[in-house]
Structure formats: structure tokens, C-alpha cells
């Protein structure tokens, strides 16, 4: 059965023709600068695209199974952000399976640690995972004018 090799958050993933993945901007925290006194709604999202990239070791016969990768995001208060991302895992014998969940925005309505959870299901039954990791959000009030480039991802 599938076994997780790596699962990380990054700013971008480039997959070459030979299927070698280059991970750009691995991060574990987003730091956002806002003008002093700015109120941010609890459901606010910044249009900052990012990715959850995972690699899975497969065993002989796994490529014959219908396996679905699920990825979800949990706010610091425990509520879910958005829908669960689901994608069929494409596998080839003798190769690791690489999966990419592209997220078009980052939730900014709650400071603290967001949880990313990913797992694999077969016939709606969990067969691998979940793998969980935290992504922090820090909002910094700034007395100076703030530009969009001041939202940064930090290792």
C-alpha cells in the first residue's frame, strides 16, 4: 500500500519532462503586513497561490487500484477552510507517485497555526495517512504604507 515519502507546502512546483519536481519556496509560515487599525474578516483570503506537494512510495499492484488523494485545510479555531481537494493518484510500476494540490488563496482571517491534512482513500475508506503539518499565519501591523509584495512566505 502507498506510503508517504514527503509532504510539504511550497510557493510553486515545476515538474520537468523527466518527472523530476523542483520545489520553489518551501514555507511553514506566512507573514502579512497590514496598515495599523486594519480589521480582517474571519473568512478573508489573500490571492496568494501556493501548493501542497507529496510523493508516495508504491508497492507492486498499487497501480491497479483506484486511489484518491484528499487534502483539507483547517483554521486555527478547528473549522474547515474550503472544500476537501480530491485527486486521483496516477501510478506507474517502479516509480513513486507525485501529487500536487494547487491552492489559489491563503486564508488570513485567523492568526495562528493552520493545519494541512492529506490522506489516501480507496472506495471511500482511508488506506494511508493522514499526514498533518502546520502553517502559521502572523499579521504584523505597520504604521507605513503596505504593498502586496510585503506578504511573505517564511521557512
pTM, two decimals, is 0.86
Question: Parallel, antiparallel, or unpaired: how do β-strands 29-35 and 125-142 relate?
Answer: parallel
Q: What is the pLDDT of residue 37?
A: 84
Please tell me the CATH code under which domain 3-154 is placed: 2.60.40.10
Q: What is the pLDDT of residues 10-46, one digit of tens each?
A: 999 999 888 889 999 999 999 888 888 888 898 899 8
Q: Is the CA virtual torsion 69, 66, 129, 59 positive or negative?
A: negative
CB atoms within 10 A of CB 79: 10
Amino acid at each position: 500500500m502507498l506510503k508517504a515519502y514527503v509532504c510539504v507546502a511550497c510557493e510553486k512546483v515545476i515538474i520537468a519532462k523527466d518527472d523530476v519536481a523542483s520545489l520553489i519556496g518551501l514555507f511553514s509560515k506566512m507573514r502579512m503586513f497590514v496598515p495599523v487599525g486594519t480589521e480582517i474578516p474571519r473568512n478573508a483570503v489573500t490571492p496568494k497561490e501556493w501548493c501542497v506537494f507529496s510523493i508516495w512510495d508504491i508497492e507492486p499492484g498499487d497501480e491497479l487500484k483506484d486511489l484518491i488523494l484528499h487534502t483539507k485545510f483547517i483554521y486555527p479555531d478547528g473549522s474547515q477552510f474550503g472544500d476537501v481537494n480530491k485527486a486521483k493518484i496516477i501510478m506507474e510500476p517502479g516509480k513513486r507517485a507525485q501529487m500536487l494540490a494547487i491552492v489559489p488563496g491563503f486564508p488570513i482571517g485567523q492568526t495562528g497555526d493552520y493545519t494541512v491534512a492529506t490522506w489516501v482513500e480507496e472506495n471511500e475508506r482511508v488506506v494511508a495517512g493522514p499526514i498533518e503539518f502546520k502553517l502559521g499565519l502572523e499579521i504584523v501591523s505597520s504604521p507605513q504604507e503596505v504593498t502586496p509584495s510585503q506578504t511573505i512566505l517564511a521557512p
